[in-house]
Homo-oligomer: A and B are copies of this chain.
């Protein structure tokens, strides 16, 4: 067998595939806030019945990515700047602690992966990749903490603010600053300075929140 194969039946159900596709479209901003999601349309687009579509929509709703009303249907969830700010605060509370716990556990492998994210981040010219790399950078470092529950919760939080994050990276100095701060964080991790990594992470998050708020107000 020369083909790189894997057991499809274990991986994707229709529900999962639909969920992933819609989730991706929402967090990249492809589907805008308030956009209605009709079960029938989606079912046709994926060539399935409405049943798996409904289940995908249910999962999306649990993630806070859509809101749905009985007999009225689902729309892409809106997120006011205030709500987004609350989620930034949430991150600012959690992530410093997570990285603090992670630093002593970081293998050279992890540090190298994180560094390579920084590299790619600096080189990438496609703004879409920035969002992806940004998330990969953080989750790579956090994964070393072994705090599965925290990671899970944080991932959901990131999903919700992802459109805002991508917008923030597109601001005049957003991408440059993020890149600079990421490198400083890796530096602290590599030096084993857990507290410093935590501080930098906190500032990184609050800085992003602040620059976003400021931009949105003018």
Any chain B CB within 8 A of the CB of A10?
Answer: yes
Give the distance in Å from the alpha carbon of A55 to the alpha carbon of B55 in the complex.
Answer: 7
Stretch at the interface among A30-38, A83-91, A121-129: A83-91
- Chain B, Cβ-Cβ closest to A79: B149
Stretch at the interface among A57-65, A170-178, A193-201: A57-65
In the complex, what's the smallest C-beta–C-beta distance from A217 to chain B, in angstroms?
Answer: 20
- Chain B, Cβ-Cβ closest to A94: B93
Give the distance in Å from the alpha carbon of A13 to the alpha carbon of B54 in the complex.
Answer: 14
- In the complex the two chains form, is A13's CB within 8 Å of B148's CB? no
A interface size (C-beta, 8 A): 27
- In the complex the two chains form, is A147's CB within 8 Å of B93's CB? no
- Other-chain contact of A59, B58, B71, B83 (Cβ < 8 Å): B58
Give the distance in Å from the alpha carbon of A58 to the alpha carbon of B64 in the complex.
Answer: 14
A-side binding surface: helix, strand, loop or mixed? helix
Give the distance in Å from the alpha carbon of A85 to the alpha carbon of B86 in the complex.
Answer: 25
Map CB proximity to B onto A133-167 as digits: 1 under 8 Å, 0 otherwise. Answer: 00000000000000111101100010000000000
Give the distance in Å from the alpha carbon of A218 to the alpha carbon of B9 in the complex.
Answer: 41
- In the complex the two chains form, is B63's CB within 8 Å of A147's CB? no
Any chain B CB within 8 A of the CB of A214?
Answer: no
A148-B86 contact in complex given A9-B70, A70-B13, A153-B153, C-beta closer than 8 Å: yes
Cβ contacts under 8 Å, A9 to chain B: 70-71
- In the complex the two chains form, is B55's CB within 8 Å of A90's CB? no
Map CB proximity to B onto A188-210 as digits: 1 under 8 Å, 0 otherwise. Answer: 00000000000000000000000
